[in-house]
A and B are shown apart, each in its own frame.
Chain A
Amino acid sequence: EPEVTQTPSHQVTQMGQEVILRCVPISNHLYFYWYRQILGQKVEFLVSFYNNEISEKSEIFDDQFSVERPDGSNFTLKIRSTKLEDSAMYFCAVGSHSSYEQYFGPGTRLTVT
């Protein structure tokens, strides 16, 4: 199973600050996803990214969010001006075109104070 790492594991930030969450897949997958899980709630889809562009995004993924692969390996999620309600666990996942398998990273716990 391909390994996916995420950094940082935990980030505490003040409301209004920008945060960048990073995901690094070890293997060569083409599909990238960000999901989030607010404490006590179910996991929600944020955005999918394929061929260096967003392929789908949810209504949660508003103008405060952006994603990119700046160097062809790291996959980043940026939140421009964090709100209290952005506090959640953020999971990166990777997948391939030929299968519906998705492999999850360990998550980044974001706490906005």
Chain B
Amino acid sequence: KNEVEQSPQNLTAQEGEFITINCSYSVGISALHWLQQHPGGGIVSLFMLSSGKKKHGRLIATINIQEKHSSLHITASHPRDSAVYICAVVGQGAQKLVFGQGTRLTINP
């Protein structure tokens, strides 16, 4: 069974701090997604990656396939980054997403 674990579960930081959220999974995957969920509930896709590193603005996502681990980094964090960040994976031979429990990020001004 594919398990996806995120850490930390909750993270509070001051504006401007560098943020790291971690994701570990237990089986081989085809792809890993980082998603953002705002208080209203909607889910927005931030990244999909299967190797290496991707960058979009202040967000950077990395993945280490051998170690079954991914990180999401936010540089120069801002209060508008406050949200729940969710890691989800696509198992090999599958199409569905298996989700982590999410990391609730709060950035204080």
Contacts and interface: CB of A to CB of B under 8 A. Distances in A.
Interface of A: 1, 31, 33, 35, 37, 41-45, 48, 50, 55-56, 89, 91, 93, 95, 99-104, 106-107, 109
A103 B88 contact: no
A55 B97 CA distance: 14
Contacts of A45: 96-98
Interface in B17-66: 30-31, 33, 35, 41-45, 48, 50
Interface size class of B (residues with CB under 8 A): 20 to 34
Prevailing SS type, chain B contact patch:
strand
B99 interface: yes
B86 A43 contact: yes
Contacts of A42: 86, 99-102
A56 B94 contact: yes
